[in-house]
Amino acid sequence: MIWVQRFGSALLLWGQVIVHLLRGRIHRRNLVAQLNVVGPESLLVVVLTGLFVGMVFTIQVAREFIRFGSGDLVGGVLALALVRELAPVLTAVIVTGRVGSAFAAELGTMRVTEQIDALYMLKTDPVDYLVLPRVLACTLMVPLLTVVGFVVGIAGGLLIGNWMYDLSVSQFLDSVEQFMEAQDLVKALIKGAIFGMLVATIGCSWGLTTTGGAKGVGQSTTASVVTGLLAIFISDFFLSWLMFRGLGTTAF
């Protein structure tokens, strides 16, 4: 029951964010600070994750494809797997663990130490000052991090394919070009933006609804990560169903 109430609060907070955004109530200094937290400070983890995911995926599929005489398809299969699922989902998971949890802990601490009440006393809306910059930062930066993860993953797959399986660079990249379409990258950006919005909204909402002192902050942080991961996986199913259902003739 408590989780349902907090999830309802998250939906309400998301609505408030939209209204405040349409009114142009953006605290630019906080937005720049949060863009740095979400983007550059997460870059190394995303690069390492993308690199090793690309290499592992290539190891797993290249041998089997080569055995069946389809080695020229390895690059394209890796590209589709990365751009459609692995890059956006894994990037969102990283941001959830690193940034979403930090949002919940930071705002939860502010709530239990009555700093949120102090903002109201100073006639400062916490949604404008705290929540909106974080949601915008995640919505803008997660798609960019997704692209970085995709590019690095392709580079990792190319490295392993060329080194371990003697796949030529041109053969690998030609396969990527043959399989991928521009709309695949656009859909990956859409997924990244939606995942980023979900992660930030859930982290901020769980932080703002924290009670119970230091113990409550820890519980809110853990719950926000679990809820954020569930939101990513569930929304990924519906987004994938909308974007990729059918036999490739969808107009989405």
More confident residue, 238 or 62: 238
CA angle (244, 63, 184) in 5-degree steps: 20
Q: Under DSSP, is residue 190 helix (H, G, I), strand (E, B) or coil? A: helix
Q: What is the DSSP string of 100-160?
A: IHHHHHHHHHHHHTTHHHHHHHTT--HIIIIIHHHHHHHHHHHHHHHHHHHHHHHHHHHHH
Burial of 99 (0-12, 13-18, 19+ CB in 10 A): buried
More confident residue, 68 or 51: 51
Residue 22, φ and ψ in degrees, nearest 5: -65, -30
Q: Under DSSP, is residue 10 helix (H, G, I), strand (E, B) or coil? A: helix
251 falls in which pLDDT band (50, 70, 90)? very low
pLDDT greater than 50 at residue 249: no
Report the pLDDT value the prediction gives residue 140, as an integer from 0 to 100.
Answer: 96
Distance of alpha carbon 25 from alpha carbon 211, whole angstroms? 28
pTM: 0.92
pLDDT greater than 70 at residue 250: no
Which of 141, 127, 144, 130 minimizes the C-alpha distance to 18?
127
Report the pLDDT value the prediction gives residue 55, as an integer from 0 to 100.
Answer: 95
The DSSP output letter for 98 is I
State the average pLDDT over residues 223-230. 95
* Average predicted confidence (pLDDT) for the chain: 91
CB 178 within 8 A of CB 211: no
pLDDT greater than 90 at residue 214: no
The DSSP output letter for 72 is G
pLDDT greater than 50 at residue 117: yes
Distance of alpha carbon 125 from alpha carbon 3, whole angstroms? 25
Q: Give the domain ranges of the chain.
A: 13-238
1 falls in which pLDDT band (50, 70, 90)? low
pLDDT greater than 60 at residue 68: yes
The letter for the amino acid at 191 is K
Burial of 246 (0-12, 13-18, 19+ CB in 10 A): exposed
Report the pLDDT value the prediction gives residue 252, as an integer from 0 to 100.
Answer: 44
Question: For 19-53, how does the pLDDT look when each residue is reduced to its tens digit (9 = 90+)?
Answer: 888 888 788 899 999 999 999 999 999 999 999 99
Q: Which residues of 135-159 are buried (b: 16+ CB within 10 A; e: fewer)?
A: bbbbbbbbbbbbbbbbebbbebbbb
Question: For 120-159, how does the pLDDT look when each residue is reduced to its tens digit (9 = 90+)?
Answer: 888 888 999 999 999 999 999 999 999 999 999 999 999 9
Residue 7, φ and ψ in degrees, nearest 5: -65, -40
